Amino acid sequence: QVQLVESGGGLVQPGGSLRLSCAASGSIFSINAMGWSRQTPGNQRELVAAFTRGGSINYADSVKGRFTISRDNAKNRVYLQMNSLKPEDTAVYYCKALINDAWSWGQGTQVTVSS
């Protein structure tokens, strides 16, 4: 059994920054993709940024140039540095990972951008 735990969410003013962290734990034999999605009430979950199985990085157009995804393979962690935050970035952010050939999700962390 594997677990993904996010941290780093919170309240930030427009223009501010936050860094999200996601740690994978449990019986892990392989992690072939990791990334972040977000969801607002009444809307579908959308991809924010991800390392794909092929090793490339994808970003949503809305966050390009402002968000940066990174990972620490030795620690089974993925990070999301979010700069120049906007009110429309307000959402619950979820970590997602392809672990042992099965997708796992974290419980989510709230990010609120408001003055």
The reported pLDDT for the residue numbered 67 is 98
The reported pLDDT for the residue numbered 23 is 97
Q: Give the helix/strand (H/E) hosting 8.
A: none
Quickly count: other Cβ atoms within 10 Å of residue 100's Cβ.
14
- Characterize 30-59 residue by residue with b for buried, 16 or more Cβ atoms within 10 angstroms of its Cβ, and e for exposed: ebebbbbbbeeeeeebeebbbbeeeeeeeb
The reported pLDDT for the residue numbered 51 is 96
The reported pLDDT for the residue numbered 62 is 97
Report pLDDT digits (tens) over 16-30.
999 999 999 999 999
The reported pLDDT for the residue numbered 113 is 98
d(CA 3, CA 55): 22
3-state secondary structure of 38: strand
Strands 46-51 and 57-59: antiparallel
Extract the residue ranges of the chain whose pLDDT is less than 50.
none
d(CA 17, CA 113): 10
The reported pLDDT for the residue numbered 55 is 83
